[in-house]
Amino acid sequence: MSKTIQWYPGHMAKATRILNDDLKVVDVVIEVLDARLPRSSANPVLQELIGARPAVIALNKSDLADPAVTEAWVRFFEKQDRPAALINAVDGKGIRNLIQKAKQAGAPALEKLTRKGLRPRPVRVMIMGIPNVGKSSLVNRVVKGALTKTGDKPGVTRGRQWIRVDSDVDLLDTPGILPPSLPNQQSALLLGICGAIKDTIYDSGEAVLELIRQLEIRYPGKLQQRYLKGGAFAGNTPEEVLEQAARLQGQLGKDGVVQTENMARMMLSDFRQGRLGPISFETPQES
């Protein structure tokens, strides 16, 4: 794609400044990553803000990611002394473990307070991450109430609110922040496919071709199984695969012309609903 993706809205710059202020009273940061994209869903701007503060990584949407790959990511981060936990913010899997790790990470800061003779208080945990990775879902799941607004569109959370979880933990949800620029076009498309960038901002035609390219490399046979009943694709290029899938799925216009746009929408939607099975786009081994 030759056109530059213009996707850094002004509110993100403002939100970044607010985050920086809020961070001053925070003991621990939980950085929420998309388990399917732990590299591309990490925001270097947030990492810079977090600095040397204790942090725990939450690999969310683990239900949509390849379990073996997610496990490998947890080991990868922990080897770098970065505590990590795989979670599912919707059904609650792994959240107890995550909060436990956050408490552990915050313990030294609280001990310091007691040594100074100050009263013990809950550990203050800030949830950070790019849009749509499931920060609010995580907070909701932890407090088991619908106190925070969640949505299936990136950029739903704008305000800030501390939530007392129990006598040990306070949580702060934050709005999703994207870095002002992405390392490369592929990362941008994968973030679009996984829902972190608004549909209107990236080229969904390019995105579906990238999805096909990735699946053919990482999970050969998956697309054939779903759209070709196990048969082989006649073509090799992503464009050919898309066109053949459209034909075989009966995506034809009145004049019999294949409707690849419909097929593209269907594939993206199938992927996002997890109907193509668990998929990871990034592994710790690849640099």
| Residues 246, 260 contacting (CB under 8 angstroms) | yes
Contacts with Mg ion, 140-179, as mask; x by CB under 5 A: -----------------x----------------------
Strands 28-34 and 123-128: parallel
Residue among 42, 72, 90, 143 that touches ligand GTP (CB under 6 A): 90
Asked if residue 101 binds ligand GTP (CB under 6 A), the reply is no
| Residues 139, 173 contacting (CB under 8 angstroms) | yes
Residue among 38, 54, 122, 134 that touches ligand GTP (CB under 6 A): 134
Could you tell me which residues come within 8 angstroms of residue 29 by beta carbon, excluding any fewer than 6 positions away?
23, 50, 53, 54, 55, 56, 125, 126, 127, 128
- Alpha carbon distances (Å) from 2 to 5, 184, 196, 211, 284: 9, 12, 21, 19, 29
Residue among 137, 204, 244, 260 that touches ligand GTP (CB under 6 A): 137
Asked if residue 43 binds ligand GTP (CB under 6 A), the reply is no
Residue among 45, 156, 165, 248 that touches ligand GTP (CB under 6 A): 156
Which of 63/206 has CB closer to ligand GTP? 63
134: alpha, beta or left? (left if phi > 0; alpha if psi -120 to 50): left
The helix/strand/coil state of 137 is: helix
Candidates 105-113, 153-161, 223-231, 239-247 — which segment interacts with ligand GTP by CB under 6 A?
153-161
CB of 124 to Mg ion, least distance (A): 18
Report the interface residues with Mg ion, using CB under 5 A. Answer: 135-136, 157
